[in-house]
Amino acid sequence: MRDSIGRFLSALEDENEFSANTVSAYRNDLGQFVRYLEERLSLTSWPEVQPSNLTSYALELREREYAASTVARKTAAVKSFFGYLVRSGELRADPSESLATPRVEKFAPKALPEEDVQALLAEPAKQCTPEAQRDLAMMQMLYASGMRVSELVSLDVDDVDLASGSVRCTGKQNRRREIDLPGAVVETTRTYVTEARPQICRGTEQSALFLNQRGTRLTRQGFWLILKQYAHRVGIDDITPHTLRHSFAAHQLTRGRDLGDVQRMLGHVSISTTQVYQQVASDLANGTSGQQASDKAPESADADGERAPA
């Protein structure tokens, strides 16, 4: 059974239609699903799986009090997998056809007021350690560019052109884009690259731009832990890895930036995805903020569907 899951995930990676984060989430979801079938139902092959087994699994997810968004993703993984089994000839019929996907209410992305962002960015500048210089550089770059957190931590040193003041990042489906950076961000990055990064790197050969304390590439989870620490210091508790990206988009539109320019910087394929930030910008201008799900979901979603670990 697990071999079939492995082939399915390999197919997703080869087709390049899903981000690495989505494939990773599907791997975890399907691993949980097959353990349920083996340990709770004693099933040993996919032809044994009946629609009633999938219904019981869906109930199991609800009883464990997962957020609706998480149940929807886990259900989508199961349905996509069984679709693959039918297409590949491993199954004649799809037992998940009648499996309902939970309805997930859409929430506007949450953006911080500009004064909160400035307070957040000022916090690492109060320290002179190499790590604080790194934190300031990556937080400034994230807010100034609108990159996804996954794009930020994937940057290599060569992706930043300090002479031209630009950064090249790789988004979903390996789409590359170049983003101009404000002069202040360029200088902060220059200080980090020339002074702080060599101290964190400790002389090892490493291409990654942003490094952790071990001198290896910083992860998305590592970035979020860092961000939460600074946010807590300035009294911001409701924050996710994408809050600075959301804030960037809303603030750019508030300042009169063209919607198409913001779309390009965010890396959105469809401008309709970017348009959600027009309401967020309007809410900020009126003194209100965007809404987010209040349940304890184990993940949060970007406006264009990217998932971030909680």
pLDDT digits (tens, 9 = 90+) for 158-210: 999 999 999 999 987 788 999 999 999 999 999 999 999 999 987 778 899 99
Give the span between the Cα atoms of 68 and 271, in whole angstroms: 27
Tell me, yes or no, if 214 is annotated catalytic. no
242 contacts 148 by C-beta, under 8 angstroms: yes
Q: One of 172, 246, 251, 307 is an active-site residue; which one?
A: 172
- Contact in structure between 221 and 24 (CB atoms under 8 Å): no
Q: Which of 74, 242, 246, 251 is catalytic?
A: 242
Task: Kindly state the tokens that stand for 26.
Answer: 């599907």
Q: Out of 73, 197, 268, 307, which one is annotated catalytic?
A: 268
Catalytic residue chosen out of the listed positions 66, 134, 277, 307? 277
pLDDT reported for residue 240: 83
Question: Can 251 be counted among the known catalytic residues?
Answer: no
Q: Which of 125, 154, 121, 111 is nearest to 281 (CA)?
A: 111
List of E strands, the chain: 160-161, 166-170, 176-180, 299-301, 307-309
CA atoms of 148 and 93, how far apart (whole Å): 39
Nearest to 76 by CA among 99, 108, 52, 47: 99
- Asked about 148 being catalytic, the answer comes back as yes
Of 110, 245, 251, 307, the catalytic one is 245
Give the model's pLDDT for residue 196: 95
The answer to whether 135 and 230 have CB atoms below 8 angstroms apart is yes
Alpha carbons 90 and 115: distance in angstroms, whole number? 57
pTM (two decimals): 0.64
The confidence score (pLDDT) of residue 61 equals 86
197 is catalytic: no
- State the number of CA atoms in the 13 A half-sphere of 74 facing the CB: 26
Of residues 240, 238, 281, the one with CA closest to residue 258: 281
304 within 8 A of 273, measured Cβ to Cβ: yes
What is the C-alpha separation between 3 and 50, in angstroms, rounded? 20
* CA 68-71-75 angle, 5° bins: 140
Give the per-residue pLDDT at 106.
62
* pLDDT for the residue 162: 95
Q: Does residue 245 have an active-site annotation?
A: yes
The secondary structure of residue 102, as a DSSP letter, is P
pLDDT along the chain (310 residues), means of 10: 90 74 89 94 94 89 79 90 93 90 71 95 94 97 94 96 95 88 96 95 87 92 93 90 92 93 90 88 75 35 38
Write down the domain spans for the chain: 2-87, 114-309
Specify the amino acid at residue 275.
Q
242 given a catalytic annotation = yes
Cα–Cα distance list, 127 to 76, 115, 121, 135, 144 (Å): 45, 20, 12, 10, 21
| CB atoms inside a 10 Å sphere around CB 307 | 21
CATH number of 2-87: 1.10.150.130
Query: CATH: 1.10.10.10, 3.40.50.1700, 3.10.450.40, 1.10.443.10. Which one for 114-309?
Result: 1.10.443.10
Greatest CA separation found in the chain?
A: 64
